[in-house]
């Protein structure tokens, strides 16, 4: 008896643990966004690219710091020598060995380059700043995508609830039709029609569950989640235009990351133009070196020698003629600067237009959602009245089914309109960057 009780308790604990392990994790919106920001591959890559750009933005990488180089070498030879001197004497040496060693330390520094070093450093710093903005842009895109996917999952959960309620109605009607048919109160056509409607609603529910599973799989891949989860927050249907239209346009012109990148591109083009002007000036550099040279030889007048010394000098270089390459570079740099200026004007116009269009889409989505809410109320009232008359035998099955599907479509239409409104709000946020999601 004790063994049986112990076995039952063990199985109970095991089943309880299994149930707890299979229970989905509850996921809040903030946790979903945080997971996406931590895991997203694109964001990780742009963060590394930003770090690369920051590493490159140094005076040394621009060539503005002195260069110090150490060199050393050694040579050895073993030769047979037949020497004849001016005095008429001669000397034959077999296997004459000689060796030489050298070492030097050289320091060089560009003193003047027409501003090329400063402009190069400015270009590198601008590239680092652009990489930071690109990281911010990707971060905003990740946040927006996390919100959109989270809302999609939340609304799909609501859609499943609607489909389950609809199937419950069809199941109740099918049971009533089966009971009525068994009592001889109706023909088989109504029973078959009720069964077809029930099966159709089961398929609708299956499709909704499959869509939810796919949406969850997509978000798990996007945010690096391994376990199953359920979203804990419903999609709020209380939202309004966050700012006045022109205020949003001004905010987008000031804060939009895409526009900031275009403006930085124009500033880079200006720096590149200034850099091209440095070819009009000579380059002055200074060099200093200290060297040691030693040699040993068995044949010759000197058996060993050693020299040490300090050398210093200035070098001035200037390209008098290089086939017109420098002039072409300056001309093209000026054209690049003009192109960048026009691109910036175009981007500003596009951003302003995009904000106005996004605001219009948002206002339209709001109005559409309000109408869909009214449709649900009307469809609910129509369904309740139709159901009452159907149960009294005053309406046909087809009329009842039409009212039922009308309610289902109204509920799904409201859900879709809410999702569109939320996505319109997210798109507006990505453009303006001046209000909370």
Mean pLDDT of 332-352: 98
pLDDT at 231 over 60: yes
As a whole number, the mean pLDDT across the chain is 90
Pairing between β-strand 67-84 and β-strand 90-112 as defined by DSSP bridges:
antiparallel
Given this model, what pLDDT does residue 97 score? 80
Given this model, what pLDDT does residue 400 score? 94
pLDDT per residue over 404-416, tens digit each? 999 999 999 999 9
Residues, the chain: 437
CB distance 30 to 232 below 8 Å: no
Distances (CA, A) of 370 to 321, 355, 380, 418: 74, 23, 16, 9
Query: For residue 1, what pLDDT band results from cuts at 50, 70 and 90?
Result: very low
Q: What is the set of domains in the chain, with CATH numbers?
A: 23-72+112-283+322-432 (1.20.1600.10)
Residue 295's DSSP bridge partners are 100, 305
Given this model, what pLDDT does residue 13 score? 40
Mean pLDDT of 286-301: 82
Mean pLDDT of 17-23: 51
- pTM for this structure? 0.85
pLDDT at 103 over 70: yes
Given this model, what pLDDT does residue 190 score? 86
List, in order, residues 6 or more apart from 139 with CB less than 8 Å away: 37, 43
Mean pLDDT of 218-241: 90
pLDDT per residue over 22-50, tens digit each? 578 899 999 999 999 999 999 999 999 99
List, in order, residues 6 or more apart from 244 with CB less than 8 Å away: none
Given this model, what pLDDT does residue 267 score? 98
Report the share of the chain in percent with pLDDT over 90. Answer: 74
Given this model, what pLDDT does residue 306 score? 84
């Amino acid at each position: 008896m004790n063994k049986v009780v112990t076995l039952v308790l063990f199985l109970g604990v095991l089943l309880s643990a299994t149930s707890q392990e299979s229970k989905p994790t509850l996921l809040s919106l903030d946790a979903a966004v945080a997971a996406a920001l931590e895991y997203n591959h694109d964001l990780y890559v742009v963060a590394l690219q930003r770090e690369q750009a920051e590493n490159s933005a140094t005076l040394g990488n621009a060539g503005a710091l002195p260069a110090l180089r150490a060199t050393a070498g050694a040579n050895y030879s073993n030769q047979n020598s037949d020497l004849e001197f001016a005095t008429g004497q001669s000397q034959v040496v077999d296997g004459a060995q000689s060796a030489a060693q050298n070492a030097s330390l050289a320091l060089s520094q560009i003193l003047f380059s027409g501003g090329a070093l400063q402009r190069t450093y400015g270009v590198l710093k601008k590239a680092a700043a652009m990489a930071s903005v690109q990281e911010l842009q990707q971060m905003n895109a990740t946040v927006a995508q996390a919100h959109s996917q989270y809302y999609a999952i939340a609304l799909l959960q609501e859609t499943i609830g609607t489909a389950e309620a609809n199937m419950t109605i069809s199941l109740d009607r099918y049971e009533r039709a089966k009971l009525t048919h068994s009592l001889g109160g109706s023909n088989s056509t109504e029973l078959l029609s009720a069964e077809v409607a029930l099966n159709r609603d089961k398929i609708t529910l299956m499709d909704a569950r499959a869509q939810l599973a796919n949406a969850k799989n997509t978000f798990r891949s996007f945010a690096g989640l391994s376990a199953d989860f359920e979203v804990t927050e419903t999609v709020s249907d209380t939202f309004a235009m966050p700012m006045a239209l022109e205020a949003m346009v001004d905010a987008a012109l000031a804060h939009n990351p895409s526009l900031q990148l275009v403006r930085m591109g124009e500033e880079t083009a200006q720096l590149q133009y200034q850099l091209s002007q440095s070819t009009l000036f000579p380059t002055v550099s200074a060099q200093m070196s200290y060297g040691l040279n030693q040699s040993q030889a068995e044949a010759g007048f000197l058996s060993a020698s050693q020299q040490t010394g300090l050398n210093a000098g200035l070098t001035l270089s200037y390209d008098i003629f290089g086939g017109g390459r420098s002039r072409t570079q300056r001309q093209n740099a000026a054209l690049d600067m003009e192109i960048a200026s026009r691109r910036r004007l175009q981007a500003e116009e596009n951003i302003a237009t995009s904000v106005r269009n996004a605001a219009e889409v948002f206002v339209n989505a709001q109005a559409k959602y309000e109408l869909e809410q009214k449709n649900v109320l009307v469809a609910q009232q129509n369904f309740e009245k139709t159901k009452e008359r159907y149960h009294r035998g005053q309406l046909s099955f087809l009329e009842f089914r039409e009212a039922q599907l009308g309610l289902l479509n109204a509920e799904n239409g409201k859900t879709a309109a809410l999702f569109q409104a939320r996505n319109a709000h997210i798109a507006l946020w990505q453009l303006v960057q001046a209000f909370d999601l």
